[in-house]
Structure 1
Amino acid sequence: MLRLLLLLLAPLLLAATFGPVRPGVPLRFPTDHGAHPDFRTEWWYVTGWLNTAQGRKGFQITFFRTRPDIDTANPSAFVPRQVIFAHAALADPAHGKLRHAARIARAGFGLANARVGDMDVTLDDWRLWRGKDGRLHAKLAGDGFAFDLAFTPTQPVILQGEAGFSRKGPGAGEASHYYSWPHLAVAGRLGGQAVTGTAWLDREWSSTLMNSRAVGWDWLGLNMDDGSAVTLFRMRDKAGAALWAGGSHRSKSGVLSVLKPEDVRWQAGGWWQSPRSKARWPVRPVLALRVGGNWRELPVTPMMADQELDSRMSGGPVYWEGAVTVPGGRGYLELTGYAAPLRM
C-alpha cells in the first residue's frame, strides 16, 4: 500500500520525474531489501505479535524514505534529497490504547540514511537492518516502550501481484513494486523483558499516488496458524466502494494464489468511535477471499478497539493501525480515510 508518508510529505511531492513502476521487472535479493532512491517513496513495514509474561501485545515498526521534488543540482548539503520518516507503536490491552512515537529527518549529516544494496535504515538511534546471518534486526525506543528485536525468516518472501508488480488502481500507472515476508520468528527484548513472537514484513516502493477518486484504503496481513499467509487490500471511493482490491494467499504447502478485485469481499462490520478524533472506524470487518474457486470468510477481531494513531500534530492524518485476529490466525489491519478523505 501507499503508506502514510505520502500524506505527511504530500506538499513536497509535486511534478517531478521519478523511477517508473513497470511490470516484468524482476525483484532481486538482497538488493531489493535496500533502498530505491530514484523512486518517489518506499517503506519497510514490520508488524507482529509478542508473547510476554503479561500476555500478547502487538507492535508496529515502520521506516519510510521519500525523494522530495527539489532541484537536485543544488550543491548545498542542506538540500533534502532524501527524507527518512519512522513510526513505532505498541498495542497493549492492559494500557488500553497505543503507545507510539515518530521521527523524521533528511538523509545525511549522520542523522538518517537508507542504504542501497541491502536493508539498513537509520534515523537517529532508531535502526532496522539485515544482518550477515540473514536475520532482520530492529532497535528503537519511544515513550513507554523499547524494542530490541531479531526476526528470523522461516519462509521465503511473497512476490505480490504480478511477480512483484502490484496494481493499486484502475489506472495504468497506479502500482508499486511489492513483496511481503510472512511468518518471521521474533526473539529479543521489550524493555527489560525477554519476548518471542511472530511478525510480518511489507516492502513497497512506488512513484505514483492513489487514484484521484480514492479517499482511503484498507489493508490486512495475516500469519495463519497452519503456516499459510493472507494479504488483502482495497482502495475506497467516497461512497465506500472498492475502486480496486487485491491481495494474495499462500498455502501451507507454498502454493501462491494472486487475488484479483473480484476475489476479495470487504464488509465494514462492527464500528468503534474514537473519543478523541470522533472518527468512526470499522474495526471488525468481515472479509472473504476466493481461492481455487472457493470462498473463505474471515471475520476480524481487534486486540483492542482503540488502536488509533493521531499524527496531525506532525502534519499527518488520523489513522487506525492495529493487531487483530481471525479464526486460525493473527496479523495487522490498517484503516485510512475514515477521519477525513485523504488529500494527496
Structure 2
Amino acid sequence: MRIKFAGVLLTLLLSGCDQSVPVEKGFAGMGNQASAFTPVVPGRVFGFPADHGPHDGFRIEWWYVTANLKDEQGHEFGAQWTLFRSALKATPEVAGWENQVVWLGHAAVTSATVHHAAERYARGGVGQAGVSLAPFNAWIDDWRLSSQSSDADPLADVQLTARDKAFSYQLRLTSNRPLVLQGDKGFSQKSEQGQASYYYSQPFFRASGLLEIDGKPYQVSGPAWLDREWSSQPLTASQTGWDWFSLHLDSGEQVMLYRMRQKDGEPYLTGTWIDAQGQTQLLHGADIRLIPQDTTRVAGRSMPVRWSILIPGKHLDIVISALNPKAWMDLRIPYWEGPVQLSGSHGGQGYLEMTGY
C-alpha cells in the first residue's frame, strides 16, 4: 500500500484505552500533527534486513502484499494481505500490556464475481501480533508473512497465509530481484507541503499456492507485489483520500502511481517507473495523466472502477478496469481494493486501492 490506515486506530480503537489520545485530523487521521514522532526527511540510507522490521519513533507503518493470480483454467483472482503498526507514543516499545503499539490486519480475496474481506486487531507486547527478524516473521494471530529462506535476503522466499470463514490462502512468494526504493531513493513525497513516507517495494515476486473461496480450492500462480512504508504524518489535513496503483506490465516493467486528492485544487500526483532490470525513475505530476472513466455504485458510493493512464515519456497509454467492480472492503475502516486488468499500449495486470469516497 501505499498509504494505509494505521493512524486511524488512534481514535477508532484506542480512545477507550488511552484517554489522552487527541482527536484526529485529515483523512483517517493521517494529517494529524505528529511533532513528537520522528519526521520523514530526504537522504535516508536504507539498511536491510533491519528495515524489514518495525521502526521505533515513527507513528505508522505497514507490510502490504497484493497478488494477481490465475488457476489452471485461466480464471483470475486477487489476494491482499496487510499488517499495520500504529504507535501511541514515540518512545521505544516495551513488553506486556504497557506496550504502546496497536496492530491491525486486513486480508481479502477477489474473483470476477466474489469479494471477501476480513480484519484482525491486536495490542502489542503480548505476542498476539508483531514483526521479528532473523528469521523475518510478520504476524497477527494465525495470519503470517514469514521467511522460508536462509539467504542473506529474508524476502527472497516467503510464505503468506490468511484464513477467515469464507476464504483462505497459502501462497509462496519468491524473487531473486533486488528491492526497489520508491520516489526519490526511498523518500516518497505525498504533498506540495512536504508530507512523505519512507517507501520501498518488492514488485517482482512470483506467487504460487492454494486459494480457497466459499469452500472451493484453486491452485493459483501469478505476479505479486510487496510494499513497505513508514511515516509519522504522511498527509495534510486537506487531503481527502487517495488512489493507488501497482501495475505489472507484460513487458516486464512495473509502475506505481499515487493520486492524492485535495479538498480544493488539483490532486497531487507522483509515481515510480521500474524497468525490467529493477532500475527506477521518479515520475512527477507533469509526467502522468490519470483520468477516471466509468464509475459504479458500491456501498452507496460512486467509485471510478475504470481509468485511463497516460505516461507519454514511457509510451504508455492504457486503460485499467476492475476485475470485480464490487471489491469493497466492508471493514471498520472501509475502502475499495481489488485486482485490475490492463489494455492498450501494454497488457498486464495490477491492483488498485481507492479511499475517501
TM-score, normalised with respect to structure 1: 0.87
Identity %: 35
* 1:152 matched to 2:169: no
**How many Å apart are 1:9 and its aligned residue?**
3.4
How many angstroms apart in 2 are the aligned matches of 1:88 and 1:9? Answer: 21
Partner amino acid for 1:181?
Q
What per-residue deviation string (whole Å, max 9, x for no partner) do you get for residues 145-181 of structure 1?
1111110014222111111011011113x10000111
- Alpha-carbon shift at residue 239 of structure 1 (Å): 5.1
Q: For residue 30 of structure 1, what is the amino acid of its counterpart?
A: P
Q: CA 1:290–1:117 in 2, change beyond 3 Å: closer, same or farther?
A: farther
CA contact (8 A) 2:9 2:86 kept: no
TM-superposed deviation, 1:251: 1.9
Residue pair 2:274, 2:281 contacting (<8 A) in 1 also = yes
Provide, for residues 174-207 of structure 1, a one-character-per-residue CA deviation record: whole Å limited to 9, x for no partner: 1000011112111222245432221001110111
Deviation at 1:240, TM superposition (A): 7.2
Structure 1 residue corresponding to 2:80, chosen from 60, 65, 71:
60
- Paired residues for 1:2-21 under 5 Å: 2-10=3-11, 14=22, 17-21=36-40
Any conservation in 1 of the 2:9–2:102 contact (CA below 8 Å)? no
Letter in structure 2 aligned against 1:232: L
Letter in 2 for 1:34: G
CA-to-aligned-CA distance 1:64-110 (integer Å, 9 cap, x gap)? 1111148x6998932341111110000012xx231111001011222
Tell me which of 249, 257, 263 is aligned to 1:238: 263
Say if 1:228 and 1:154 are closer, same or farther in 2 by CA, change over 3 A.
farther
SS of residue in 2 equivalent to 1:9: helix
Selected match of 1:29 from 48, 56, 62: 48
Residue 284 of structure 1 contacts residue 300 of structure 1 at CA under 8 Å; is this kept in 2?
yes
Query: Does the alignment pair 1:260 with 2:260?
Result: no
Deviations 1:281-319 (A, max 9, x none): 01101122243xx552221111111111122xx3x2x31
The structure-2 alpha-carbon separation of the partners of 1:167 and 1:84, relative to structure 1 and needing over 3 Å to count, comes to same
1:286 aligned partner: 308
Equivalent residue for 1:50, pick from 50, 69, 72: 69
Residue in 2 aligned with 1:166? 188
Residue identity in the other structure for 1:120: N
1:336 Cα deviation after fit: 0.8
Q: Which residue of 2 aligns with 1:297?
A: 317
Unaligned runs of 5+ in 2: 15-20, 23-33, 151-155
Counterpart residue identity of residue 224, structure 1: L
Aligned residue number for residue 125 of structure 1: 142
1:245 touches 1:260 (CA, 8 Å); kept in 2?
yes
Please point out which of 192, 196, 201 is paired with 1:175: 196
Contact 1:44 1:62 in 2 (8 A): yes
Q: Do the aligned residues in 1 keep the contact of 2:94 with 2:100 (CA within 8 Å)? A: no
Query: Residue in 1 aligned with 2:341?
Result: 325
Decide whether the 8 Å contact of 1:45 with 1:62 is kept in 2. yes
Do 1:34 and 1:118's aligned partners in 2 also have CA atoms closer than 8 Å?
no
Q: Give the whole-Å Cα distance in 1 for the aligned partners of 2:176 and 2:322.
A: 25
Is contact 1:5–1:85 with CA below 8 Å preserved after alignment? yes
How many pairs were matched up? 325
Partner of residue 342, structure 1: none
Q: CA deviation at 1:37?
A: 2.8
Q: For residue 321 of structure 1, what is the amino acid of its counterpart?
A: E
CA–CA separation in structure 2 for the residues paired with 1:161 and 1:150: 28
Deviation at 1:273, TM superposition (A): 0.6
Q: What is the TM-score of this pair, normalised by structure 2?
A: 0.84
Q: State how far apart, in whole Å, the 2-side matches of 1:132 and 1:104 are.
A: 28
Check conservation: 1:33, 1:118, Cα contact below 8 A. no
Please state whether the residue corresponding to 1:132 is helix, strand or coil: coil
Tell me if 1:188 matches 2:212. no
Q: CA, structure 1 residues 9+298, in 2 after alignment: closer, same or farther (shift >3 Å)? A: farther
Which one of 228, 241, 256 corresponds to residue 253 of structure 2? 228
Would the alpha carbon gap of residues 322 and 92 (structure 1) be closer, same or farther in structure 2, given more than 3 Å must change?
same
CA gap 1:10/1:169 in 2 versus in 1, 3 angstroms: farther
Query: Against the structure 1 CA distance between its residues 41 and 97, is the aligned structure 2 distance closer, same or farther, given a 3 Å change threshold?
Result: same
Matched position secondary structure for 2:177: coil
Match of 2:30 in 1: none
Measure the CA separation in 1 of the matches of 2:11 and 2:192. Answer: 22
SS in 1 for 2:97: coil
| 1:183 and 1:227 in contact (8 A); partners too | no
Q: Secondary structure at the match of 1:65?
A: strand
Letter in 1 for 2:80: Q
Q: Out of 287, 291, 294, which is 1:270 matched to?
A: 294
- Unaligned 5+ segments in structure 1 are 339-344
Match of 2:8, SS state, is helix
Structure-1 separation of matches of 2:135 and 2:303? 37
Q: CA RMSD in A?
A: 2.3
In structure 1, the residue matched to 2:119 is 102
